[in-house]
Copies of this chain bind each other. A is one copy, B any other.
Amino acid sequence: MRIEVICTGDEVLTGKIVNTNFNHITQRLEDVGLSVVWETTVGDDRGNLLMAFQQAGQRADAVIVNGGLGPTVDDLSQEIAAQAAGAELALNESWLQTMEEFFRLRSRVMPPNNRKQAMLPATAEVLDNPIGTACGFAVTIGKARFYFTPGVPRELRRMLDEQIIPRLLAKSGLQTAIFLKRFHSYGLGESHVDTMLDGLEAMVQDGSLKLGFRAHYPQLETKLTVRGKDMTDIRAKLAPVEAEVRKRLGNFILAEDDQTLERVLLDALAASQSSLTLVETFTSGQMVGRLLHQPGAAALIRQGIVALDHQQLCTAVGLAPNALAAGITREGAEAIARAARQHTGATHALAVLIDLDQGSDRIDFGGTICLAIATASEVVSRRSRLVGGRDWVRLGAAELGLDCLRRYLHGLPVVERIDFEKVEMQTVSEPARPAK
Protein backbone atom coordinates (compact mmCIF):
# COMPACT_ATOMS: atom_id res chain seq x y z
CA MET A 1 0.00 0.00 0.00
CA ARG A 2 1.47 3.34 -1.07
CA ILE A 3 1.03 6.02 1.61
CA GLU A 4 1.79 9.69 1.12
CA VAL A 5 1.61 12.73 3.41
CA ILE A 6 0.71 16.29 2.42
CA CYS A 7 1.57 19.09 4.85
CA THR A 8 -0.11 22.43 4.30
CA GLY A 9 0.44 25.95 5.56
CA ASP A 10 2.56 29.01 4.81
CA GLU A 11 4.23 28.79 8.23
CA VAL A 12 5.63 25.34 7.42
CA LEU A 13 6.47 26.13 3.80
CA THR A 14 8.39 29.30 4.67
CA GLY A 15 10.22 27.55 7.52
CA LYS A 16 8.75 29.79 10.22
CA ILE A 17 7.97 26.62 12.13
CA VAL A 18 9.79 23.30 11.91
CA ASN A 19 7.49 20.59 10.59
CA THR A 20 7.47 18.21 13.55
CA ASN A 21 3.98 16.96 12.64
CA PHE A 22 5.40 15.18 9.61
CA ASN A 23 8.05 13.50 11.75
CA HIS A 24 5.40 12.35 14.16
CA ILE A 25 3.19 10.91 11.41
CA THR A 26 5.94 9.03 9.63
CA GLN A 27 7.44 7.66 12.85
CA ARG A 28 4.08 6.51 14.19
CA LEU A 29 3.37 4.72 10.91
CA GLU A 30 6.82 3.07 11.03
CA ASP A 31 6.01 1.96 14.58
CA VAL A 32 3.00 0.01 13.31
CA GLY A 33 4.78 -1.36 10.25
CA LEU A 34 3.50 1.07 7.63
CA SER A 35 5.72 3.28 5.49
CA VAL A 36 5.37 6.77 4.04
CA VAL A 37 6.93 6.92 0.58
CA TRP A 38 6.36 10.54 -0.40
CA GLU A 39 5.77 13.85 1.38
CA THR A 40 4.63 17.13 -0.13
CA THR A 41 4.48 20.55 1.53
CA VAL A 42 2.42 23.35 -0.02
CA GLY A 43 1.28 26.72 1.31
CA ASP A 44 -2.20 28.14 1.85
CA ASP A 45 -2.75 28.56 -1.88
CA ARG A 46 -5.75 27.20 -3.81
CA GLY A 47 -3.90 26.32 -7.01
CA ASN A 48 -1.05 24.46 -5.33
CA LEU A 49 -3.34 22.67 -2.88
CA LEU A 50 -5.56 21.40 -5.69
CA MET A 51 -2.60 20.25 -7.77
CA ALA A 52 -1.04 18.52 -4.73
CA PHE A 53 -4.29 16.67 -3.96
CA GLN A 54 -4.81 15.63 -7.58
CA GLN A 55 -1.25 14.44 -8.16
CA ALA A 56 -1.15 12.49 -4.89
CA GLY A 57 -4.55 10.99 -5.80
CA GLN A 58 -2.97 9.61 -8.97
CA ARG A 59 0.12 8.17 -7.26
CA ALA A 60 -1.03 6.87 -3.87
CA ASP A 61 -3.47 4.48 -2.20
CA ALA A 62 -3.75 6.53 1.01
CA VAL A 63 -2.88 10.15 1.74
CA ILE A 64 -2.76 11.89 5.11
CA VAL A 65 -3.23 15.66 4.83
CA ASN A 66 -2.20 17.82 7.76
CA GLY A 67 -3.42 21.37 8.47
CA GLY A 68 -5.85 23.84 6.95
CA LEU A 69 -8.94 22.85 8.97
CA GLY A 70 -9.10 26.00 11.12
CA PRO A 71 -11.76 28.72 11.13
CA THR A 72 -9.84 31.45 9.29
CA VAL A 73 -9.90 32.42 5.62
CA ASP A 74 -6.48 30.93 4.90
CA ASP A 75 -7.66 27.48 6.04
CA LEU A 76 -8.59 25.93 2.72
CA SER A 77 -8.45 22.15 3.13
CA GLN A 78 -12.20 21.39 3.15
CA GLU A 79 -12.90 23.66 0.18
CA ILE A 80 -10.12 22.22 -1.99
CA ALA A 81 -10.84 18.66 -0.87
CA ALA A 82 -14.43 19.08 -2.06
CA GLN A 83 -13.25 20.48 -5.37
CA ALA A 84 -10.73 17.67 -5.91
CA ALA A 85 -13.27 15.01 -4.89
CA GLY A 86 -15.93 16.51 -7.17
CA ALA A 87 -18.32 17.04 -4.26
CA GLU A 88 -20.24 20.02 -2.89
CA LEU A 89 -19.30 21.64 0.43
CA ALA A 90 -22.18 21.05 2.83
CA LEU A 91 -22.87 21.95 6.44
CA ASN A 92 -22.43 18.94 8.70
CA GLU A 93 -25.18 19.53 11.32
CA SER A 94 -23.81 16.89 13.62
CA TRP A 95 -20.33 18.51 13.79
CA LEU A 96 -21.91 21.95 14.23
CA GLN A 97 -23.69 20.61 17.32
CA THR A 98 -20.46 19.03 18.57
CA MET A 99 -18.72 22.39 18.27
CA GLU A 100 -21.52 24.31 19.98
CA GLU A 101 -21.36 21.80 22.83
CA PHE A 102 -17.55 22.20 22.93
CA PHE A 103 -17.93 25.97 23.49
CA ARG A 104 -20.88 25.58 25.87
CA LEU A 105 -18.84 23.28 28.14
CA ARG A 106 -16.21 26.02 28.30
CA SER A 107 -18.85 28.68 29.07
CA ARG A 108 -18.26 30.46 25.81
CA VAL A 109 -20.41 31.29 22.80
CA MET A 110 -19.18 29.90 19.50
CA PRO A 111 -17.82 32.71 17.27
CA PRO A 112 -19.60 32.79 13.88
CA ASN A 113 -16.47 32.00 11.84
CA ASN A 114 -16.13 28.60 13.56
CA ARG A 115 -19.20 27.51 11.56
CA LYS A 116 -16.82 27.15 8.61
CA GLN A 117 -15.21 24.18 10.40
CA ALA A 118 -18.44 22.19 9.96
CA MET A 119 -18.48 22.71 6.19
CA LEU A 120 -17.30 19.38 4.75
CA PRO A 121 -17.35 17.72 1.32
CA ALA A 122 -20.84 16.16 1.06
CA THR A 123 -19.31 12.69 0.57
CA ALA A 124 -16.96 12.95 3.59
CA GLU A 125 -16.68 10.40 6.38
CA VAL A 126 -16.12 12.22 9.70
CA LEU A 127 -12.97 11.45 11.74
CA ASP A 128 -13.68 12.43 15.32
CA ASN A 129 -11.62 15.07 17.11
CA PRO A 130 -12.61 14.83 20.79
CA ILE A 131 -10.26 17.63 21.91
CA GLY A 132 -10.74 20.41 19.36
CA THR A 133 -13.11 22.10 16.94
CA ALA A 134 -11.33 21.04 13.71
CA CYS A 135 -13.29 18.19 12.17
CA GLY A 136 -11.20 15.42 10.63
CA PHE A 137 -12.63 13.69 7.57
CA ALA A 138 -11.91 11.17 4.83
CA VAL A 139 -12.76 11.44 1.14
CA THR A 140 -11.64 9.67 -2.04
CA ILE A 141 -9.67 11.67 -4.61
CA GLY A 142 -8.48 9.86 -7.71
CA LYS A 143 -7.52 6.34 -6.64
CA ALA A 144 -6.53 7.29 -3.08
CA ARG A 145 -8.36 7.59 0.23
CA PHE A 146 -7.49 10.97 1.79
CA TYR A 147 -7.48 11.53 5.57
CA PHE A 148 -7.62 15.20 6.61
CA THR A 149 -6.15 16.08 10.04
CA PRO A 150 -5.77 19.24 12.15
CA GLY A 151 -2.49 21.12 12.45
CA VAL A 152 -2.62 21.35 16.26
CA PRO A 153 -0.12 18.64 17.28
CA ARG A 154 -2.08 17.04 20.13
CA GLU A 155 -5.26 16.90 18.03
CA LEU A 156 -3.36 15.38 15.11
CA ARG A 157 -1.70 12.78 17.36
CA ARG A 158 -4.92 11.58 18.85
CA MET A 159 -6.77 11.44 15.54
CA LEU A 160 -3.87 9.57 13.96
CA ASP A 161 -3.82 6.91 16.68
CA GLU A 162 -7.56 6.54 17.17
CA GLN A 163 -9.01 7.13 13.72
CA ILE A 164 -6.46 6.84 10.95
CA ILE A 165 -4.00 4.09 11.88
CA PRO A 166 -6.78 1.51 12.45
CA ARG A 167 -8.24 2.41 9.02
CA LEU A 168 -4.82 2.12 7.34
CA LEU A 169 -4.10 -1.22 9.01
CA ALA A 170 -7.49 -2.57 7.94
CA LYS A 171 -6.91 -1.29 4.40
CA SER A 172 -3.45 -2.91 4.31
CA GLY A 173 -4.77 -6.29 5.51
CA LEU A 174 -2.32 -6.41 8.45
CA GLN A 175 -3.30 -7.82 11.84
CA THR A 176 -4.77 -4.80 13.51
CA ALA A 177 -3.85 -5.32 17.17
CA ILE A 178 -0.45 -3.81 17.63
CA PHE A 179 1.80 -2.92 20.55
CA LEU A 180 5.01 -0.94 20.81
CA LYS A 181 7.46 -1.83 23.59
CA ARG A 182 10.37 0.56 24.15
CA PHE A 183 13.69 0.30 26.02
CA HIS A 184 15.90 3.34 26.66
CA SER A 185 19.63 2.86 27.07
CA TYR A 186 22.79 4.86 27.36
CA GLY A 187 26.32 3.85 26.47
CA LEU A 188 25.82 1.44 23.56
CA GLY A 189 25.72 2.55 19.93
CA GLU A 190 22.89 1.57 17.59
CA SER A 191 24.89 -0.93 15.53
CA HIS A 192 26.29 -2.50 18.70
CA VAL A 193 22.80 -3.01 20.14
CA ASP A 194 21.64 -4.33 16.78
CA THR A 195 24.38 -6.98 16.98
CA MET A 196 23.64 -7.76 20.63
CA LEU A 197 19.99 -8.39 19.74
CA ASP A 198 20.81 -10.63 16.78
CA GLY A 199 18.18 -13.33 16.26
CA LEU A 200 15.58 -11.53 18.35
CA GLU A 201 12.99 -11.15 15.59
CA ALA A 202 13.16 -14.91 14.94
CA MET A 203 11.95 -15.60 18.50
CA VAL A 204 8.44 -14.88 17.23
CA GLN A 205 8.04 -17.36 14.42
CA ASP A 206 5.12 -15.86 12.51
CA GLY A 207 7.15 -12.76 11.64
CA SER A 208 4.92 -10.45 13.66
CA LEU A 209 7.79 -8.96 15.72
CA LYS A 210 9.79 -6.07 14.33
CA LEU A 211 12.91 -4.61 15.93
CA GLY A 212 13.79 -0.96 15.37
CA PHE A 213 15.86 1.85 16.82
CA ARG A 214 15.62 5.58 17.33
CA ALA A 215 18.95 7.18 18.22
CA HIS A 216 18.79 10.52 19.95
CA TYR A 217 22.25 11.00 21.41
CA PRO A 218 23.14 10.38 24.12
CA GLN A 219 20.25 7.93 24.52
CA LEU A 220 19.18 5.10 22.24
CA GLU A 221 15.62 3.82 22.02
CA THR A 222 15.15 0.15 21.14
CA LYS A 223 11.66 -0.54 19.80
CA LEU A 224 9.80 -3.83 19.57
CA THR A 225 6.63 -3.71 17.47
CA VAL A 226 4.39 -6.73 17.87
CA ARG A 227 1.19 -7.55 16.01
CA GLY A 228 -1.40 -10.03 17.02
CA LYS A 229 -5.04 -11.06 17.06
CA ASP A 230 -5.57 -9.18 20.32
CA MET A 231 -3.63 -7.94 23.35
CA THR A 232 -3.57 -11.40 24.96
CA ASP A 233 -1.95 -12.82 21.85
CA ILE A 234 0.52 -9.90 21.78
CA ARG A 235 1.44 -10.25 25.47
CA ALA A 236 2.12 -13.96 25.02
CA LYS A 237 4.44 -13.27 22.08
CA LEU A 238 6.18 -10.35 23.75
CA ALA A 239 6.93 -11.73 27.24
CA PRO A 240 9.90 -13.98 26.34
CA VAL A 241 11.31 -11.35 23.96
CA GLU A 242 11.16 -8.60 26.58
CA ALA A 243 12.95 -10.85 29.04
CA GLU A 244 15.63 -11.59 26.46
CA VAL A 245 16.22 -7.90 25.73
CA ARG A 246 16.56 -7.17 29.46
CA LYS A 247 19.05 -10.04 29.76
CA ARG A 248 21.16 -9.01 26.79
CA LEU A 249 21.24 -5.22 27.36
CA GLY A 250 21.38 -5.67 31.13
CA ASN A 251 22.64 -2.71 33.15
CA PHE A 252 22.50 -0.43 30.13
CA ILE A 253 18.70 -0.22 30.15
CA LEU A 254 17.93 2.97 32.04
CA ALA A 255 14.17 3.13 31.54
CA GLU A 256 11.32 1.51 29.63
CA ASP A 257 8.35 2.92 27.70
CA ASP A 258 7.34 6.39 28.97
CA GLN A 259 9.75 6.32 31.90
CA THR A 260 12.68 8.72 31.78
CA LEU A 261 16.11 8.67 33.38
CA GLU A 262 15.13 11.79 35.34
CA ARG A 263 12.01 10.10 36.75
CA VAL A 264 13.89 6.88 37.55
CA LEU A 265 16.50 8.85 39.51
CA LEU A 266 13.98 10.90 41.46
CA ASP A 267 11.90 7.80 42.26
CA ALA A 268 15.01 5.97 43.51
CA LEU A 269 15.95 8.95 45.70
CA ALA A 270 12.41 9.21 47.07
CA ALA A 271 12.18 5.47 47.75
CA SER A 272 15.29 5.55 49.91
CA GLN A 273 14.37 8.91 51.52
CA SER A 274 17.52 10.38 50.05
CA SER A 275 18.39 13.82 48.77
CA LEU A 276 20.87 14.95 46.17
CA THR A 277 23.27 17.81 45.52
CA LEU A 278 24.84 18.19 42.08
CA VAL A 279 28.18 19.83 41.31
CA GLU A 280 28.82 20.70 37.68
CA THR A 281 31.57 22.40 35.70
CA PHE A 282 31.47 22.24 31.91
CA THR A 283 28.03 20.61 31.97
CA SER A 284 26.91 24.14 32.95
CA GLY A 285 23.88 23.14 34.99
CA GLN A 286 22.44 20.64 32.49
CA MET A 287 22.12 17.92 35.11
CA VAL A 288 20.29 19.99 37.71
CA GLY A 289 18.24 21.54 34.91
CA ARG A 290 17.00 18.12 33.81
CA LEU A 291 15.96 17.11 37.31
CA LEU A 292 14.75 20.23 39.09
CA HIS A 293 11.54 20.93 37.18
CA GLN A 294 10.20 17.38 37.54
CA PRO A 295 7.28 16.93 39.94
CA GLY A 296 8.49 16.30 43.48
CA ALA A 297 12.06 17.43 42.79
CA ALA A 298 11.92 20.29 45.29
CA ALA A 299 12.05 17.86 48.22
CA LEU A 300 14.77 15.66 46.68
CA ILE A 301 17.26 18.01 45.05
CA ARG A 302 19.11 20.03 47.64
CA GLN A 303 21.24 22.22 45.44
CA GLY A 304 22.95 22.60 42.08
CA ILE A 305 26.38 24.20 42.22
CA VAL A 306 27.82 25.34 38.92
CA ALA A 307 31.27 26.87 38.41
CA LEU A 308 34.14 26.59 35.94
CA ASP A 309 36.82 28.20 38.08
CA HIS A 310 38.48 25.63 40.34
CA GLN A 311 39.05 27.93 43.29
CA GLN A 312 35.46 29.08 43.11
CA LEU A 313 34.24 25.50 42.93
CA CYS A 314 36.25 24.48 45.99
CA THR A 315 35.07 27.45 48.02
CA ALA A 316 31.46 26.82 47.03
CA VAL A 317 31.53 23.37 48.63
CA GLY A 318 33.50 24.48 51.67
CA LEU A 319 36.96 23.23 50.66
CA ALA A 320 40.17 25.22 50.67
CA PRO A 321 40.50 27.21 47.41
CA ASN A 322 43.53 25.18 46.30
CA ALA A 323 41.94 21.74 46.84
CA LEU A 324 41.89 21.12 43.08
CA ALA A 325 45.37 22.53 42.49
CA ALA A 326 46.50 19.16 41.12
CA GLY A 327 43.95 19.49 38.30
CA ILE A 328 40.91 17.33 37.61
CA THR A 329 41.45 13.83 39.01
CA ARG A 330 39.28 11.10 40.46
CA GLU A 331 40.56 12.02 43.91
CA GLY A 332 39.64 15.65 43.27
CA ALA A 333 36.12 14.71 42.18
CA GLU A 334 35.76 12.51 45.26
CA ALA A 335 36.83 15.35 47.55
CA ILE A 336 34.38 17.74 45.86
CA ALA A 337 31.48 15.26 46.10
CA ARG A 338 32.18 14.49 49.76
CA ALA A 339 32.41 18.17 50.64
CA ALA A 340 29.31 19.14 48.62
CA ARG A 341 27.27 16.49 50.39
CA GLN A 342 28.29 17.69 53.82
CA HIS A 343 28.07 21.38 52.94
CA THR A 344 24.49 21.15 51.69
CA GLY A 345 23.17 18.47 54.04
CA ALA A 346 22.24 16.02 51.28
CA THR A 347 22.46 12.25 51.64
CA HIS A 348 24.04 11.96 48.17
CA ALA A 349 26.20 14.23 46.07
CA LEU A 350 27.20 13.80 42.44
CA ALA A 351 30.15 15.79 41.10
CA VAL A 352 30.99 15.78 37.39
CA LEU A 353 34.23 17.59 36.60
CA ILE A 354 35.47 17.97 33.05
CA ASP A 355 38.93 18.76 31.79
CA LEU A 356 38.15 19.94 28.27
CA ASP A 357 40.90 19.86 25.63
CA GLN A 358 42.31 23.25 24.73
CA GLY A 359 42.25 24.78 21.28
CA SER A 360 39.87 24.43 18.40
CA ASP A 361 37.83 21.39 17.39
CA ARG A 362 39.80 18.65 15.66
CA ILE A 363 39.41 14.95 14.97
CA ASP A 364 40.49 13.80 18.45
CA PHE A 365 39.09 16.77 20.38
CA GLY A 366 37.30 15.84 23.57
CA GLY A 367 37.27 15.99 27.32
CA THR A 368 38.34 13.94 30.31
CA ILE A 369 35.61 13.43 32.84
CA CYS A 370 36.09 12.62 36.50
CA LEU A 371 32.89 11.97 38.34
CA ALA A 372 32.21 10.94 41.91
CA ILE A 373 29.19 9.97 43.98
CA ALA A 374 29.43 10.48 47.73
CA THR A 375 27.20 9.19 50.53
CA ALA A 376 27.68 9.22 54.28
CA SER A 377 29.51 5.89 54.14
CA GLU A 378 31.46 5.84 50.88
CA VAL A 379 32.50 7.54 47.70
CA VAL A 380 32.74 5.91 44.26
CA SER A 381 34.29 7.50 41.22
CA ARG A 382 34.99 7.02 37.54
CA ARG A 383 37.33 8.53 35.00
CA SER A 384 36.31 8.56 31.38
CA ARG A 385 37.37 10.19 28.13
CA LEU A 386 34.76 11.30 25.59
CA VAL A 387 35.80 12.45 22.11
CA GLY A 388 33.75 14.87 20.02
CA GLY A 389 32.86 18.56 19.77
CA ARG A 390 32.14 20.69 22.85
CA ASP A 391 28.36 20.18 22.74
CA TRP A 392 28.76 16.45 22.23
CA VAL A 393 31.08 16.14 25.24
CA ARG A 394 28.79 18.32 27.35
CA LEU A 395 25.70 16.23 26.52
CA GLY A 396 27.58 12.97 26.98
CA ALA A 397 29.09 13.97 30.33
CA ALA A 398 25.73 15.02 31.77
CA GLU A 399 24.21 11.71 30.66
CA LEU A 400 27.17 9.72 31.98
CA GLY A 401 26.91 11.46 35.34
CA LEU A 402 23.18 10.89 35.74
CA ASP A 403 23.41 7.32 34.45
CA CYS A 404 26.21 6.46 36.89
CA LEU A 405 24.00 7.80 39.66
CA ARG A 406 21.17 5.54 38.47
CA ARG A 407 23.55 2.58 38.51
CA TYR A 408 24.69 3.49 42.00
CA LEU A 409 21.18 3.93 43.38
CA HIS A 410 20.12 0.60 41.84
CA GLY A 411 23.15 -1.28 43.18
CA LEU A 412 24.72 -1.81 39.73
CA PRO A 413 28.39 -1.33 38.86
CA VAL A 414 29.18 2.33 38.25
CA VAL A 415 32.14 1.49 36.06
CA GLU A 416 31.21 -0.42 32.92
CA ARG A 417 32.77 0.32 29.56
CA ILE A 418 30.60 2.35 27.16
CA ASP A 419 30.95 2.66 23.38
CA PHE A 420 31.43 6.43 23.38
CA GLU A 421 34.52 6.22 25.55
CA LYS A 422 38.17 6.14 24.56
CA VAL A 423 40.06 3.20 26.02
CA GLU A 424 42.28 5.12 28.45
CA MET A 425 39.62 4.45 31.09
CA GLN A 426 41.00 2.75 34.18
CA THR A 427 38.77 -0.23 34.74
CA VAL A 428 38.33 -0.73 38.42
CA SER A 429 36.92 -4.03 39.48
CA GLU A 430 34.03 -3.19 41.68
CA PRO A 431 31.50 -5.62 43.10
CA ALA A 432 27.83 -4.94 42.41
CA ARG A 433 26.09 -3.69 45.49
CA PRO A 434 22.59 -4.72 46.46
CA ALA A 435 19.90 -2.23 45.50
CA LYS A 436 19.03 0.17 48.27
A residues near B (Cβ < 8 Å) are 13-16, 18-20, 22-27, 30, 35-43, 45, 48, 51-52, 55, 59, 214-215, 282, 284-286, 288-289, 292-293, 297-299, 301-309, 312, 315-316, 344-345, 390, 394
CB of B37 within 8 A of CB of A13, answer yes
Task: Specify which chain B residues have a CB less than 8 angstroms from the CB of A297 in the assembled complex.
Answer: 308
Are B309 and A302 in contact, CB atoms less than 8 angstroms apart? yes
Which of B20, B38, B298, B309 has a CB less than 8 Å from the CB of A48? Answer: B38
Nearest-neighbour CB distance to chain B for A212, whole angstroms, equals 10
**B45 and A30 contact, CB distance less than 8 A:** no
Q: A20: nearest residue on chain B (CB-CB)? A: B18
A293 and B36 within 8 A (CB) = no
Is A304 touching B303 in the complex (CB atoms < 8 A)? no
- Pairwise interchain contact A16-B293, C-beta atoms closer than 8 A: no
Q: Nearest Cβ in chain B — how far from A70, in angstroms?
A: 18
Residue in chain B with minimal CB distance to A36? B13
Contacts of A289 in B (CB 8 A): 284-286, 289, 306
Q: How far is the CA of A22 from the CA of B40 in the complex (A)?
A: 12
Nearest chain B CB to A276 CB, angstrom units: 11
A302 to B292, CA, bound (A): 21
Q: Are A282 and B288 in contact (CB under 8 A)?
A: no
Neighbouring B residues of A16 by C-beta, 8 Å:
214-215
Note all chain B residues with C-beta closer than 8 A to A284.
285, 288-289, 292-293, 304
Closest chain-B Cβ to A237's Cβ sits at a distance in Å of 24
Can you list 21 residue pairs at the A/B interface with Cβ under 8 Å?
A13-B26, A13-B36, A14-B27, A15-B23, A38-B52, A39-B40, A39-B42, A40-B41, A55-B55, A284-B292, A284-B293, A284-B304, A285-B304, A289-B306, A292-B308, A298-B309, A299-B309, A302-B312, A303-B305, A304-B305, A312-B344
Q: A23-B15, A298-B308, A309-B302 are in contact. Are A41 and B42 (CB under 8 A)?
A: no
Complex Cα–Cα for A43 and B304 (A): 45
- CB atoms of B288 and A285 under 8 A apart: yes
Given A13-B37, A26-B14, check contact A306 B292 (CB 8 Å).
yes
Tell me how far the C-beta of A258 lies from the nearest C-beta in chain B, rounded to whole angstroms: 18
* Residues in B neighbouring A285, C-beta threshold 8 A: 284-286, 288-289, 292, 304, 306
Determine if A316 and B293 form an interchain contact, defined as CB atoms under 8 angstroms apart: no
Contact status A307-B316, CB under 8 Å: no
* Chain B residue nearest to A306 in the complex (CB): B304
Q: Could you tell me the distance between the alpha carbons of A395 and B26 in the complex, rounded to whole angstroms?
A: 30
Contact A306/B303 with A48-B38, A288-B284, A344-B312 known, Cβ cut-off 8 Å: yes
Looking across the interface, which residue of chain B has its beta carbon closest to that of A5? B41
Most chain B CB atoms below 10 A, which of A14, A304, A305, A306: A306
